[in-house]
Amino acid sequence: MASVNHAAARDRMANGNRDNLNRDDRNRDNWNRGNLMNVPDALPPWRPLLRSARAREGRSPQARWLQLATLAADGTPRVRTLVFRGWAGSTALDLLTDGRSAKPAELVHQPAVEVCWLLPRARSQFRLRGSLQTLAPEQEQRERERHWQMLSPGGRALWGWPPPGEPFDPEAAFPEQLPDGSPLPDHFLLLRIALAQVELLELTGHPHRRRRWRRESGWAEECLNP
């Protein structure tokens, strides 16, 4: 009976997290819209295409979920799904992670990453290649605090859970919420990815269409075989 109750509790947390994700997305969308005028650089041509493809997803969490690929210290690949947390300027994106997970150590070992963003309703796959950007300590602290405050209480709760990847303890505390005003945890980390290359594969029409933009080429569009 205890295991059934625990499973039910986990289901409730999962449903709550989905609701919290939608609230977090709305908060972040409002912040991004309000700050577009503060972006000094012109948007590269792939940004409107990505925005349009994401809009096709509507309010589905799929519009925010992307896959981050890193390299472990032993040379083997790692990939996981993260939540898009907004743009920093025109060509850098923000992600959040738990500093107790393996990702931060992997990124110290190899800061180069690739992000895969599949948007099924638009039948579009974006591959974004870049590297972890190092911020000045004052800026990093300010940005971490901003993202922490933008999260919903349910979104913050994930950083109040036991360390990810450790053996599961059914007696451990898994809070469903961390209220406004909760202190910023040391293990709440910002990953800012500065992008150097973007590829778009559109799985519509015949043949499919594949394009690439590179920062070193001034984001000029290149057409490739699909």
Residue 22, in any domain of the structure: yes
Residue 133, in any domain of the structure: yes
The amino acid at residue 222 is E
Kindly tell me the burial class for residue 152, based on how many C-beta atoms sit within 10 Å of its own C-beta (0-12, 13-18, 19 or more): buried
pLDDT in tens, 37-96: 344 469 999 999 999 999 999 999 999 999 999 999 999 999 999 999 999 999 999 999
Residue 170, in any domain of the structure: no
Model confidence at 24, in pLDDT bands (50, 70, 90)?
low
pTM for this model (two decimals): 0.82
Structure tokens at 73: 């210290």
pLDDT in tens, 136-188: 999 999 999 999 999 999 999 999 999 999 999 999 999 999 999 999 999 99
Give the residue from 215, 204, 192, 79 showing the smallest Cα distance to 146: 192
The whole-number pLDDT of residue 28 equals 52
The percent of residues above 70 in pLDDT, for the chain, comes to 82
Question: Is residue 3 scored above 50 in pLDDT?
Answer: no
- CATH number, domain containing residue 32: 2.30.110.10
Count of domains observed in the chain: 1
User: Strand 188-202 and strand 209-214: pairing?
Assistant: antiparallel
The percent of residues above 90 in pLDDT, for the chain, comes to 81
CA within 13 Å, CB half, 39? 18
| 9 or 121: which leads in pLDDT | 121
Question: Is residue 15 scored above 60 in pLDDT?
Answer: no
Kindly tell me the burial class for residue 59, based on how many C-beta atoms sit within 10 Å of its own C-beta (0-12, 13-18, 19 or more): exposed
- Round to whole Å and give the CA distance between 203 and 36: 30
Question: What counts of helices (H) and strands (E) characterise the chain?
Answer: 5, 8
The amino acid at residue 75 is G
199: domain range? Answer: 2-165+175-224
Question: Is residue 125 scored above 50 in pLDDT?
Answer: yes
